[in-house]
Each structure stands twice: as C-alpha cells, then as structure tokens.
C-alpha cells in the first residue's frame, strides 16, 4: 500500500500557493476526509472566496483550523471610478496595503479587463504614468487572478455579462514577472478557474526579447502585443530605455521566433506623439518593421497626456494622414480611440494617484 504524502505547512503560508495534492495531504494528516480538500479548492478558485469565513459549507472549527495554519491574502477593491463612456477603473489593495489598478472596458460586443502584473514599473517609459513610479514588487499569480475575478464580478453586476477578454496592459511589464503571469493565465483559463479561452487573452510587452522567445519555447496559447511606439532605434531609445538592451533587430528576431513556435496572433501597438513619431518618414519606418514581423494588426493609439511628460497628442488631421499612408501601403492598421480618459484610466495613465503606504518594504 502506498504511503500517504506528508507535508510540513509553514504557519501563515498563503493557502493558494499550495498545489492541490499538498492541500489534500494536509487534510488527511489532520484526520479530515479527503473530500474536504476538494471543497476548499472550489472555494479558493471556482467560488472565489476572499476569506475562510466565506467557506460556509465547512464547520466553524475547520474554518478556524484553516485560519490558524494558513493566510488568504486576497486583493480587495478600494475604490471604483465610473467614466462617462462606461469604462470602470478600480483600485485594488494588497494584503500589506499596496495599490494597483485594473480597468473594465465595455464596448458593443466585448467586455475587456485590463489587468496589472506589477505594483509600479521599472522600465521608465517616458510617456507612461506608471513608468514614473518605482516598482514596489511583482504581483503574485493569485493576486493577478483576483484582478480578473473582481473585474468579472463588476462586469456581471454593472452590465449583466461576463468578461469576454483580458489584456495584460495595466501597470508593470508582464514579461518581467514571467512565472506569475503564466501561472495566473493558467488559472484564468482552467476549468476550476474562470474557464476563459487563452485566445481571448493578450499579453503586452515593452519588448523583452529573451522572454518573448521563452514564450515560444513554452508553447503559450495567448496573443502577444508589442508596445512599439517608435520604429527606429534612436527614437525608441529616447522614449523607452529598454530598447537600449532590446533593440528593434532583437525584437524582430524574437517575434518571428515566437510566431514560428506558436502561430499565435501578434499585434504592434503604436502611440502617436505630436511632432515626434507622426510624420510620413515615421510611417515608412513603421511599415519596414511591419513587413519584417508576422503581425496581424497595427493598433494606432491616440496619446493620453500625463502631467509628468512633455508629449502632446497630434491634430486629428495629422492622425488621419498617418492612417491613410499606412492604408495606402497595405498595412492592416486600426485607430484605437482611448476610453476612460476622464478618470485617468486610458492607455498610459495608470499611476495610483492614491498615496502608497510609506512603511511597506519593497521586495
């Protein structure tokens, strides 16, 4: 007869960090029935319990034992702002008091959650409000999962619909929190999680070539977006310091490798800045990159000004000239109008304007 697995639980550990087999072994060691582990697992991932007290089909004594051995540091909603266009921006609080933000973007046919992967960011992109913040820490996979759950609950409450799409375009660089992002997506797409198709998930990166290739090696099923924003190295270095160590050639090679391995959809994101990257010469540079990458689409994004940056939005006429030139040269481009500008929820505006606690250590 096979020996029962044993585990030594570190008191106060996050219960959601336990694999199912270890949770099962813990209950058996306590003398509990095996089915208790399934009940708790369902509460954690399918029913989205945020506290042990929520697990109402467990005895009070068992809930107390769980509380004595484990923690359940779920995200909570601190505030929600409603835009005039229907967009919702929520501030989420971590167990130690840090803030991150997520956005729900409703359109006629879609309900998209924009989620964060880090608290702050280390990449210092010059046009992005998050880039002017310090990176406090990575979000754990269960915290990223909480964002998706809480935004899905909002969608159902406000619009009577479930989330249709998730984009990792909030605070932070997803590929610098690689393991947690992939683990969160695994849970979001699993049957005991949100059950969402990976084809409805897009991970956006400022361009970490090595990790783009790793996505290919790992055979991921989700879509990939590259935040390009300038199509020559000199200009990209100026606004995105990461380009100095991940230049356009390296990114083009990485995107081709990713596509060769996965055949997943790739999008190029390009914000237009007045008199910086919005000329016909800039459009030509963009076309050259587009033709070297198996991209399905180029999203042209209108810039959302922030207090800390010098950039401005181009005139409507200049935007239309840029779009017409791309169309003339057979580029599949779409102009993406920003949503939630009046509540600082649009692309590049997430900055946690609520004050961060000063006494929480970075990790």
Catalytically active residues are: 101, 347
**175/66 Cα distance (integer angstroms):** 34
CA distance 150 to 88: 12
138: β partners: 118
DSSP SS3 for 106: strand
| Strand ranges for 213-252 from DSSP E | 223-227
Return the closest-CA partner of residue 300 out of 270, 330, 279. 270
Scored b (16 or more CB within 10 A) or e, 217-247 reads eeebebbbbbbbbbbbeebbeebbbbbeebe
Rounded to whole angstroms, the Cα distance separating 61 from 70 reads: 14
**Dihedrals phi, psi of 156, to nearest 5 degrees:** -65, -40
Torsion angle in degrees (nearest 10) through CA of 267, 346, 353, 188: -50
Looking at residue 117, the DSSP 8-state letter turns out to be S
Among 116, 171, 172, smallest CA distance to 145 is for 116
Instruction: Indicate the angle between helix axes 209-217 and 248-262, nearest 10 degrees.
Output: 10
Residue 80 token pair:
């929600």
Give phi and psi for 84, each to the nearest 5: -65, -20
Contact 76, 92 (CB under 8 A): yes
Cα–Cα distance, 174 to 254 (Å, whole number) = 16
Give just the sign of the alpha carbon dihedral 39, 44, 48, 52: positive
N residues, the chain: 363
């Amino acid at each position: 007869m096979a020996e029962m697995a044993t585990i030594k639980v570190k008191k106060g550990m996050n219960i959601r960090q336990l694999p199912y087999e270890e949770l099962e072994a813990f209950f058996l060691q306590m003398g509990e029935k095996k089915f208790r582990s399934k009940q708790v697992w369902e509460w954690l991932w399918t029913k989205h319990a945020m506290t042990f007290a929520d697990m109402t089909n467990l005895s009070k004594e068992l809930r107390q034992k769980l509380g004595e051995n484990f923690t359940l540091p779920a995200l909570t909603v601190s505030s929600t702002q409603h835009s005039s266009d229907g967009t919702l921006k929520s501030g989420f609080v971590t167990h130690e008091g840090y803030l991150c933000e997520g956005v729900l973007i409703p359109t006629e046919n879609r309900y998209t959650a924009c989620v964060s992967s880090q608290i702050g960011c280390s990449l210092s992109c010059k046009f992005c409000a998050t880039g002017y913040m310090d990176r406090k820490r990575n979000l754990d996979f269960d915290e990223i999962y909480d964002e998706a759950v809480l935004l899905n609950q909002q969608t159902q409450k406000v619009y009577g619909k479930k989330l249709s799409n998730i984009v990792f375009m909030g605070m932070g660089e997803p590929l610098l929190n690689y393991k947690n992002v992939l683990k969160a997506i695994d849970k979001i797409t699993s049957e005991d999680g949100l059950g969402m198709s990976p084809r409805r998930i897009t991970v956006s990166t400022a361009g970490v070539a090595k990790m783009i290739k790793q996505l290919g090696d790992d055979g991921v099923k989700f879509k990939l977006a590259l935040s390009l924003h300038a199509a020559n190295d000199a200009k990209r270095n100026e606004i995105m310091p990461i380009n100095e160590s991940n230049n356009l050639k390296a990114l083009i090679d990485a995107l081709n490798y990713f596509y060769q391995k996965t055949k997943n959809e790739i999008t190029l994101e390009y914000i237009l800045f007045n008199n910086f990257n919005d000329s016909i010469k800039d459009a030509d540079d963009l076309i050259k990159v587009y033709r070297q990458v198996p991209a399905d689409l180029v999203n042209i994004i209108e810039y959302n000004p922030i207090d800390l940056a010098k950039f401005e939005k181009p005139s409507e006429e200049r935007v239309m000239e840029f779009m017409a030139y791309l169309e003339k040269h057979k580029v599949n481009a779409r102009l993406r109008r920003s949503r939630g500008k009046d509540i600082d929820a649009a692309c590049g505006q997430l900055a946690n304007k609520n004050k961060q606690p000063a006494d929480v250590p970075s990790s």
